[in-house]
Structures are given as structure tokens and as C-alpha cells.
Amino acid sequence: MAAWPSSLPDYQEIGLQETRQQAFLRSSVDAGPSKQRKRFTSATRSLSGTMLLSDTQFAAFNTFYETTINQGADEFDMLDPRDGSTAACRFVEPPTARALVGGSSGAALWRVSFKLEIVN
């Protein structure tokens, strides 16, 4: 399995939000509290965030996304921001990128936003 490029930051630098998949079902009853039960043994966690990348890092990110993980279709290993362990991840949707005004050299910073899903 491919691994997150070492030339890119391990975590989203601007912010990170984690959302868990609902792993239970609720059922209404005629009287009393609703019933609730576990739906499946493992639930995914979604991570969304934004990174600031240099031109060089943005090129590495594009190569990773387009070639290494097949336009985002394949899973890859990345450090889990919660505990630093290796986690299998995949993109939920294509990333978005915005060029920010660069310095006098003309180099730009890229704000790249994406949503990932931890599947293990």
C-alpha cells in the first residue's frame, strides 16, 4: 500500500476536524425510551482539514494523488493524528486547492483542503 509522502506535512496545519460514522441504530417504541443497538463492528472516522503547501510540496501532493493513489481511488497509509499510529486512509472526495499570493520571488503557497476517511 502507498504511504503519505514524507515531503508533505503529517497533519493538516490550519485545522483538523474529525467526525465519526454513526455505528448504531435507534428505533422508536410505543412507550418508554427508544431502543438502540450497535450496527456494525467497525466504524470509519472522517478527517477534514486544510494544509498550506509550497509549490514543491504541491507538486508532490499532485503526483501522489494523481499517480500513486490512482486519482484518489486507492487507500494509503498515513499517521493517525489522534495517536500517531499508522492508519489506512482514503479520499472521500477530490481535494480543492487555492493559490495564495506569493513573495517577491513569485513562489506561491497553496491552500489545499481535503476530506479523508480512516478505514481501519
* The pLDDT value given to residue 22: 66
Q: Is the pLDDT of residue 103 over 60?
A: no
Task: Cell 485545522: give the residue.
Answer: 15
Phi/psi region, residue 60 (left: phi>0; alpha: psi -120 to 50; beta: rest), is: alpha
Give residue limits of the domains in the chain.
2-23+39-118
* The pLDDT value given to residue 31: 84
Q: Which ranges of the chain would DSSP assign to H, the alpha helix? A: 55-63
The 10s digit of each residue's pLDDT in 15-57 is: 677 777 666 677 888 888 887 777 677 677 888 888 889 889 9
* The pLDDT value given to residue 47: 87
